[in-house]
Amino acid sequence: MLANLAFNIIIPVVIMTYASKPEYLGPLWSIAVALAFPVGYGLYELLQTKKVNFFSVLGIVSVLLTGGISLLKLPAEYIAIKEAAIPALIGIAVLVTRYMKKPLIKVLVLNEAIINWPKLNERLVSINKVAEFEKKIDISNYIVAASFFLSATLNYALAKWILVSEPGTTAYTEELGRMTALSYPVIVIPSMIMLITAIMYIFMQMKKLTGEEIDTFLNQ
């Protein structure tokens, strides 16, 4: 967690805030150097785990888009749209895949790393509660989707509020750094609360329907 905060937020914020003046890196080079840290860390994680992590790839794409928009000096509106579009698309995907064999919620949140699905399904079948539990999954699905839509709304509002200077200027780069710094408390914390709510809701329903302790169906 500390490494994630350092490479994705703290270091980029410090570089864009304090090194964007003309006598240092300048507005454009400071953006390029700052965004190299989250991209580099994301690629390092992929190489270390040797697994393609959905969020890691999405994070790298998001950072590259931010860098591209900023270096091309496109209007700040593009940053705001990009910031809102990525979580909004994930939210839509969460809703759409609920009709598929393996909903996205079971990939991103309630996956095999957390829940022992074969064991849980066996218990649900034995007590004829499969359909009822699927309805509870649907409710959790809506909570997760709502968390991404909330993130999209807050992302857009934050970008529109902070990015007011001309792209390519020192002031704009400093604003980009400020937006990055505020994104964690303003966006991540509320979204995480909703995601945790979705997980806790499923855990409570799991215990209620099966009559077993939650630990019974968790992967240790």
Interatomic CA distance for residues 206 and 112, integer angstroms = 15
Q: How confident is the model at residue 89 (pLDDT cuts 50, 70, 90)?
A: confident
Quote the pLDDT of residue 4: 67
Quote the pLDDT of residue 54: 62
What token pair was written down for 157?
């509002």
52 vs 108, residue with greater confidence = 108
- Strand, coil or helix: what is 3? helix
152 pLDDT above the threshold of 70: yes
Return the exposure string of 105-138: e unless at least 16 CB atoms fall within 10 Å of the residue's CB, then b.
bbebbbeeeebeeeebeebbeeeebeeebeebbe
Mean pLDDT across the stretch 147-168? 90
Interatomic CA distance for residues 113 and 101, integer angstroms = 18
Q: How confident is the model at residue 95 (pLDDT cuts 50, 70, 90)?
A: confident
156 pLDDT above the threshold of 90: yes
pLDDT mean across residues, the chain: 81
105 in Cβ contact with 94 (< 8 Å):
yes
Q: Which of these, 81, 69, 104, 97, lies nearest to 195 by C-alpha position?
A: 104
Quote the pLDDT of residue 182: 85
Flag the least confident range among 52-61, 64-73, 85-94, 149-158.
52-61
